[in-house]
Chains A and B, each alone.
Chain A
Amino acid sequence: MSAARPPRAIDPTGLLDRRLVIVAGKGGVGKTTVACGLGLVAAQAGKRVLVVEVDGAGRAAVLLGVEPAPIGEARPIRPGLAAMSLEGSAALAEYLQSVVPVKRVLKAVFESRIYQYFVAAAPGLKELMTVGKIWFEAERTDDGRRRWDLVIFDAPATGHGLQYLRMPLAARAAFGAGLVARESERLVERLRDPRRTAISLVTTAEEMPVNETVEMYRQVRDDLRMPLGPLFVNRLHRARFDAADLDGLRQQATRLRDARDRRVVAEVVQRADEELGWSRINDAYLRRLRAEVPVPHVELPFLFAEEFGVQEVERLAGTIAAAVQRDTGAGRRTDSHGRA
């Protein structure tokens, strides 16, 4: 271990002042939702924001009710907010074209089978180029004016997501001298600069996601040594009644004469039990997260919706805004209970 201390966590109220915010976590915990929520908050604050993803599905656009754009194109979603899907091979081809400027003939290279081996033998080259492309967007200027104030990278699920971030480091070590090594050096420097970059983890407060989050937190802090932003704890259940209320209801229900009323009450009890159960699980894992992932937490409620769509993302954006915006005064850490 080097003597340098790991960088301090970035305060939530400063998160959106970075050039690049990376949203990472286990599959299925709501990374795209948080990325879009952050995008909405920043856009409402007057920033020009780009949400970038890499698996080509265009999830951010779909979630916000817009048809995704072709790979590499920005799709405007709202004033100040756009989404883009990137793909490693396209980013790499684009880069190589800038290195070997015989464009027409280079096409023959890309189409040859040997090219596949070349890419496979240069570990992480595609991932490296994708991160390079993301930084290109983050620093891109049109007539001297930056195109985006903020780029939000909706990273792929845990293992694969970290692979992207580890690549510049690995490449710097692997490729010795040359253009790629210099490019890697430049990226590592940017990714580790707390004024420019923050990585925020997203999780739910359940066993497997929390295990992965704790592991990921340590890797980001100790191996990648990237500046950590707040942890987003998503889908929290917080029962607004307790076991005593429920016991009261059970007792009173015995007085009911009407069979249908009894059934309704039994159903109400069943749902209340479920909500209490989830609240207990969430509470236990929140405590573990507080102990083992010592960065500020932003807590997001589970939303009961028939369909999870734009409205739900907007509601979560409201909660996120309260935590990351300076002027609201509402919040650094949302330790308070009972937010709807």
Chain B
Amino acid sequence: MAGLDDVLARHRVVICAGSGGVGKTTTAAALAVRAALAGRRTLVMTIDPAKRLADALGIRGLGTISSAVPVDDVPHGYLSAMMLDQKGAWDALVERHAPSPDIRDRILQNRFYQHLSQSFAGSQEYMAIEQLCEVHASGAYDLIVVDTPPTRHALDFLEAPQRIADFLDKRVVKWFVKPYFSAGWATMRFVNRTVGFLFKRLEDATGITALVEVSEFFTSMSGLFEEFEPRVRRVEALLRSPQTAFVLVATPEEQVLREAEYFCGRVRELGVPLRAVVFNRTHRELATARDAREPEAVRALLARLLGARDGATELAENFVRYEALGRGDGLRMEAFRRALPRGAAVAEVPNFHTDVHSVADLRTMHQFLFAA
């Protein structure tokens, strides 16, 4: 079975996906450090690192590619980091395509635009992939490791391109562009008499004059969405390319694994290659000796050693409790592994009782991520 080292060696883009709070950012950073140590020019694109990890990676501002981090034993310049700037990427797109500063400002202040760029499901994910495409096309790196936005569902990242393409479908968008809309509601009836009438009622009743804003937005941006579909196709092609690997990051908790299972199923349907799973914060049973699994035996042994001194009972009890935790984690991870596609690498990182925020800490993770 291939290990994570092979996954890094055989791909040019590695995307870390998973639900919130499972350690995606740290995992992405650790993978990138490993590739840099192996002599590949590596970029890690990250979302929201803890401040000290950001400092360790040399990340200062949003969006820009930060100065390469010095990693011991590797020639300087092999590891760079950048922070994905989700809102800024939309603004950049507008600035690039708006025909005049006046129109640019109108778009940036448009409510529909603000919703689209900030909270339309998948739009932040989509912009993250766009930035990835740009850096990838530049050819400046041998490997790009991507940390994905914290979403409730890890899948948002995969489905974002299609969702946004559907939304900005030019056949629909053209309804909103002059002369139909700006000419007033009468033209709406040209599209569909009943629907047009009802929307008028809806706007009157609710006090929301929303569609005017939509119309204005699309009228100003009409040039951009002409070429939107080919862009989405390019983005999708990169996600499905044999150069790209998905790494699912999870913890062995029931709820996280339920979502991870769903993710694996959808990944298969979408035809995206899932190459590895990283379990973070895991526990395993330690006791190898059979009678060490008996709380009483451990208690007796410690009592023999420590006599009536403080702590014997508590230390034994603590051991037994962690063993129960390890048993549960182990069973859940085994069950999960059995359902994985053949050939997917699996790594387990134990629950560190320290924060991970330096390049040295990330290297400590390597012994677990890349265990033989």
Q: Which residues of A contact B (CB under 8 A)?
A: 26-29, 32, 55, 59, 62-63, 96, 99-100, 102, 105-106, 108-109, 112-114, 116-118, 120-125, 156-157, 159-160, 163, 174-181, 206-209, 211, 239-242, 245-246, 248-249, 252-253, 255-256, 260-261, 263-265, 267-268, 270-278, 280-281, 304-309
Contact = CB atoms under 8 A, between A and B. Distances in A.
A249 B116 contact: no
User: Which 4 pairs of residues, A with B, have the shortest CB-CB distance?
Assistant: A178-B207, A277-B353, A28-B21, A27-B20
Nearest to B195: A112
Given A117-B211, A178-B207, A271-B322, A248 B289 contact: no
Contact of A248 (B111, B211, B309): B309
Contacts of B119: 123-124, 163
B175 to A, nearest CB: 7
Given A27-B19, A175-B208, A305-B328, 12 more contacts: A105-B194, A118-B202, A121-B111, A156-B152, A206-B355, A239-B318, A245-B311, A246-B311, A252-B305, A267-B287, A272-B319, A276-B353
B21 A249 contact: no
B361 to A, nearest CB: 12
A246 B19 CA distance: 37
Given A121-B111, A123-B115, A249-B302, A179 B202 contact: no
Contacts of B191: 114
Interface string B266-306: 00000000000000000000111100100000100110011
Contacts of A246: 311, 315
B205 interface: yes
State which size class the interface on B falls in: 35 or more
B289 A264 contact: yes
18 contacts: A28-B19, A62-B258, A100-B205, A106-B198, A108-B194, A109-B195, A114-B172, A117-B172, A174-B111, A239-B314, A240-B317, A240-B318, A241-B311, A241-B315, A248-B311, A249-B315, A264-B289, A274-B322
Contact of A180 (B167, B208, B323, B354): B208
B198 to A, nearest CB: 5
A241 B214 CA distance: 64
Nearest to A26: B21
A170 to B, nearest CB: 10
Interface string B318-333: 1101111101100100
Nearest to A267: B286
A339 to B, nearest CB: 14
A123 B192 contact: no
A249 B311 contact: yes
Of A28, A175, A268, chain B has the most CB atoms within 10 Å of the CB of A268
Contacts of B152: 27, 55, 156-157, 160
Given A96-B202, A100-B202, A157-B20, A180 B207 contact: yes
Contacts of A274: 322, 351, 353
B185 to A, nearest CB: 12
A116 B325 contact: no
Contacts of B21: 26-29, 157, 208-209
Nearest to A179: B206
Given A208-B50, A264-B289, A109 B202 contact: yes
A258 to B, nearest CB: 9
Contacts of A175: 206-208
B306 A248 contact: yes
Of A55, A252, A306, A307, chain B has the most CB atoms within 10 Å of the CB of A306
B198 A99 contact: no
Given A175-B208, A263-B289, A305 B314 contact: no
Contacts of B311: 241-242, 245-246, 248-249
Contacts of A304: 321-322, 324-325
Contacts of A278: 353
